[in-house]
Structure 1
Amino acid sequence: MVMVMVNLTIIRILLVSAIVSLTVRLILILTVCRSNRKRAVGFFHPYTNDGGGGERVLWCAVKAIQEEQPDLDCVIYTGDHDASPDSLIRRALDRFGVTLISPPKVVHLHKRKWIEETTYPRFTMIGQSFGSIYLSWEALNKFVPFYYLDTSGYAFTYPLARLFGCKVLCYTHYPTISLDMLSRVHSRSSMYNNDSVVANSFLLSQCKLVYYKFFSWMYGFVGSCANLALVNSSWTQSHIEKLWRIPDRIKRVYPPCDTTGLQALPLEREATPPKIISVAQFRPEKAHTLQLQAFAHSVKNLNADIPRPKLQFVGSCRNDADETRLQNLKDLAIKLKVEEDVEELVGLLGSATAGIHSMMDEHFGISVVEYMAAGAIPIAHNSAGPKMDIVLPEEGKQTGFLAETVEEYADAILKILRMSKSEKHEIAAAARRRASRFSEQRFYEDFRAAIRPIINHSFG
């Protein structure tokens, strides 16, 4: 008995010694790193070749900081091993038309697999979040900037960046978890992010609800560590304010939309038959099936004197699941007898009469802005970004339509098809004026104004 007690005492002493040793080592590492902070802004953006709106924000943010503080280095933390200062400055220009003042410096990350979705078949959300901490640890051990700017939504890295002595800024496109997600699990609604097996089980729904509540609490804590949080829409701002509880440190800055070239397109559309365009990746949340059903419904109710329209799907597939989803859409088009009226083409905005968007709770909706800038009347989902920020009256004029159900979408399609040329022109013109609110130039102005109070103070 005495021997057991002695052994337990020895184990406790060893554990305490190990914890103290690790703590001391961590403090020493952090002390050295904090003293070696560089006069730079470190952009945490592990994927610098995704080609989407998030990457456009990255390069526009780099340019905005270079214009605001030319003496600050801009450093990109990336997991793309072929990325170099020269290749990134070329990519910003060639892919997005953004001309950087100087090439950004590059810090290569080798642990990106820890934030990849495929690494976590279950508990993906929390797995990726904790994986991002490990990736950020690698990043900050290689280079410690005075300012740490996350442009990819990895909020769990913020406390670590603060420990390294960084001022933490972020541009949040959408919350990792939203109150809407909690509501759907609570109400047991089956959607792309709430599997029907879980939705149909009371026990599984309760377990998932506990998991989501715990995660939302953690997300709120780590998010509150940001010194400044920029958000891309009113919907995102509302959720982030409720979750992070730092309303005085949250600023809304709409994302940069490439509207200049689109606004040069003529508003008069002579295309026969009328064309309705849908620009989106073939992902489940984009609800292409609803669009196809609404289109078929509207075609059945067309007046005899109105030409039969065409529906044009423009998008890409990320993986085999998306390819299968696209094939299912083709099969459905045949079943609905509209296969000859559905096209998959690129570069059709200039001839489109309308643009359709059907994702629920789209945090912003860049494709909707692009429709409006190009002169295509938008038919967007009546929620989140399109409802709260984009498809709003401009100078008292209607700028488009909002819908939720198949019938509402079909009704909007029919209204547009039945309009006179002058009515279409009036809405398209108002929509184009509205789209100018989301230009790249507006982003530069708002972004610099938001960060100025933080990055213009003296270094210490």
Structure 2
Amino acid sequence: MKVNFVYSDLNPCGGAEKLSLITMQSFIELGINIDLTSLEFPDSKRIQNAFGKELASVLECIREIHILDTFNEKSIEKNILNDYKLVFNSHGDIDPYYHKSRNKFNTITYCHYPTAKFLIKSRDEEYLERYLKISRFERSGDNGIESITIPRSNNQVSLLQINNNKHLQWLEQTYDNMLMNSSLVTNSQYSHNQITKTLGISDTMVIYPPVDVDKFRDMSLIPSLNKGIKENDIVVICRIDPAKKVENVIFLAQKLREAGVNLKITIVGNLDPYHHYYYKKLKKTIIDLNLEDRIFFKTDASLEDLFVILSKSGIIFHPKPGEHFGISIVEAMSAGLVPVVPSVGGPTEFVPIENQYDSIETAVKIIQKFQNIKDIERIRTSNSVRQFSTQCYKAKIKKLVLDLLNGIDYTSFGVYHNLT
């Protein structure tokens, strides 16, 4: 039996990429052969640095890796000829992958959020270039893309111009067909509700993403308790990406200084060359506001680096309202950090309401309240997120896969959440 995993690029090494590798691991443990269809070849060294040797070793178990130029009708048609029993698209928020032979019994799509629906409609240039690699198209009457050079407002260069709607229409139809004809899984009730609102699909299953809660507890919380090395500073864990609203960290640092709260903030996140302009802008703003002694970046940190940073920190601040789930928040909570998160989004499903903010000023008050909590509270915080363990996720994914292969369709009953 062969299963095809679809994921456009595993190299950003964020939460969604980690979920994909752990899902592959689940299939391997079931004795199922897996292929990978992607737009970029996986960088094993980068992935090992971010996730550790054990999880990166999943790449060695992939039978074949198929690299497509982009997602289009011809490439998918050719790819699907490999006679797959099941297709698992673990990047269903971004990657439009559909073929008429696919249905809810032979396709699982993990859609973190119906992001592509909005990006295609708005003709978002970053999405089309960076994620779908449309600039790889050569000029042809077949694809509706004409390669030219035009300036961008952020001083980057675009290599394409959409000169008719043919390909955009195909992308939109393909994305809708993919979600309508899959056993659809998402990461939170928040995302489930948005999928229902956007596409009218109400039978999406919620399977919370996997977090190695035990490892973060053992490698960060326990050492800090044993050695007393907690410094109670603030950590932010997210990609250096405009979508993550990292500028809110700067606003927070300003307000903390005004309130007389002397805490340092470390921003831990991967930096894609595409967003280097944004990183430079953030750094300049920090210098202009004289915050260099309060905000520090740790880009492309290793897993071991992250363990050490968490062991010395007391608070995890998340800057983006409307986060779909927040794997990094759960990781930090597993390490005993106090969460401070926006009051809108998936994190509200596991973060107490007293730790949720609706303004930066409110976030400052929460930080002031919790900056010196006792060790027993850190342990209680760590225990509160054990339901998101990798083991729980794997058990639910394995049950879903085996039941689908046996002809059981959960979506026909509108069942989600509790698959174990």
Whether TM-score is above 0.5 comes out as yes
Return the letter of the residue paired with 1:455: L
* Counterpart position of 1:440: 390
Q: CA deviation at 1:179?
A: 8.2
Structure (1 or 2) with the larger CA radius of gyration: 1
Return the letter of the residue paired with 1:451: V
* Counterpart position of 1:236: 191
Q: CA deviation at 1:64?
A: 1.8
Work out whether residues 159 and 225 of structure 1, in 8 Å CA contact, stay in contact via their aligned partners in 2: no
Q: CA deviation at 1:456?
A: 3.1
1:45 aligns with 2:4: no
* Counterpart position of 2:100: 160
Q: What fraction of aligned residue pairs are identical, expressed as a percent? A: 19
Q: How does 1:399-418 map to 2 (within 5 A)?
A: 401-417=355-371
* Counterpart position of 2:337: 376
Return the letter of the residue paired with 1:135: S
Q: CA deviation at 1:230?
A: 1.4
- The answer for unaligned runs of 5 or more in structure 1 is 1-38, 115-130, 183-196, 198-211
1:65 aligns with 2:20: no
Q: CA deviation at 1:234?
A: 1.2
Q: How does 1:46-445 map to 2 (within 5 A)?
A: 46-68=8-30, 70=31, 72-80=32-40, 94-95=52-53, 97=55, 103-109=61-67, 111-112=68-69, 114=70, 131-141=71-81, 143-153=82-92, 156-162=96-102, 167-177=106-116, 219-226=175-182, 228-248=183-203, 250-264=204-218, 265-266=221-222, 268=225, 270=228, 274-302=232-260, 308-319=262-273, 322-345=275-298, 346-347=305-306, 348-387=309-348, 389-392=349-352, 401-417=355-371, 419=372, 421-422=373-374, 425-445=375-395
Pick closer, same or farther for the CA change 1:180–1:42 going to 2, 3 Å: closer
3-state SS of 1:297 partner:
helix
Alpha-carbon displacement from aligned partner over 1:365-385 (angstroms, at most 9, x marks no partner): 111111101111111122111
Return the letter of the residue paired with 1:430: R
Pick closer, same or farther for the CA change 1:181–1:294 going to 2, 3 Å: farther
- The answer for unaligned runs of 5 or more in structure 2 is 122-152, 154-167, 299-304, 409-420
Work out whether residues 78 and 106 of structure 1, in 8 Å CA contact, stay in contact via their aligned partners in 2: no
Work out whether residues 75 and 104 of structure 1, in 8 Å CA contact, stay in contact via their aligned partners in 2: yes
Return the letter of the residue paired with 1:355: I
Question: Aligned pairs, how many?
Answer: 352
Pick closer, same or farther for the CA change 1:135–1:436 going to 2, 3 Å: farther
Whole-Å separation in 2 of the counterparts to 1:301 and 1:89: 40
Whole-Å separation in 1 of the counterparts to 2:42 and 2:317: 37
Deviates more, 1:170-179 or 1:437-446: 170-179
What's the Cα RMSD here?
3.8
1:454 aligns with 2:393: no
Pick closer, same or farther for the CA change 1:272–1:79 going to 2, 3 Å: closer
Return the letter of the residue paired with 1:324: Y
Alpha-carbon displacement from aligned partner over 1:360-412 (angstroms, at most 9, x marks no partner): 2111111111110111111112211111x23147xxxx7xx111322122222
Whole-Å separation in 1 of the counterparts to 2:211 and 2:42: 27
Whole-Å separation in 1 of the counterparts to 2:296 and 2:97: 43
Whole-Å separation in 2 of the counterparts to 1:92 and 1:275: 23
Whole-Å separation in 2 of the counterparts to 1:92 and 1:349: 15
Whole-Å separation in 2 of the counterparts to 1:449 and 1:433: 25
Alpha-carbon displacement from aligned partner over 1:242-284 (angstroms, at most 9, x marks no partner): 4444434x21111111222210223649558641111112111
Q: Could you say which structure has the greater relative contact order, defined with CA pairs below 8 angstroms and 6 or more residues apart?
A: 2
Q: CA deviation at 1:427?
A: 3.8
3-state SS of 1:136 partner:
helix
Whole-Å separation in 2 of the counterparts to 1:233 and 1:448: 19
3-state SS of 1:157 partner:
coil
Pick closer, same or farther for the CA change 1:76–1:217 going to 2, 3 Å: closer
Q: CA deviation at 1:137?
A: 2.1
Whole-Å separation in 2 of the counterparts to 1:289 and 1:83: 29
Q: CA deviation at 1:430?
A: 2.7
Pick closer, same or farther for the CA change 1:379–1:108 going to 2, 3 Å: same
Pick closer, same or farther for the CA change 1:46–1:179 going to 2, 3 Å: closer
TM-score norm. by structure 1 comes to: 0.66
Alpha-carbon displacement from aligned partner over 1:122-180 (angstroms, at most 9, x marks no partner): xxxxxxxxx34443223113x121211111216642343428x9811111122135689
TM-score norm. by structure 2 comes to: 0.72
Pick closer, same or farther for the CA change 1:48–1:281 going to 2, 3 Å: closer
Q: CA deviation at 1:432?
A: 0.8
Whole-Å separation in 2 of the counterparts to 1:225 and 1:455: 16
Whole-Å separation in 1 of the counterparts to 2:401 and 2:381: 30
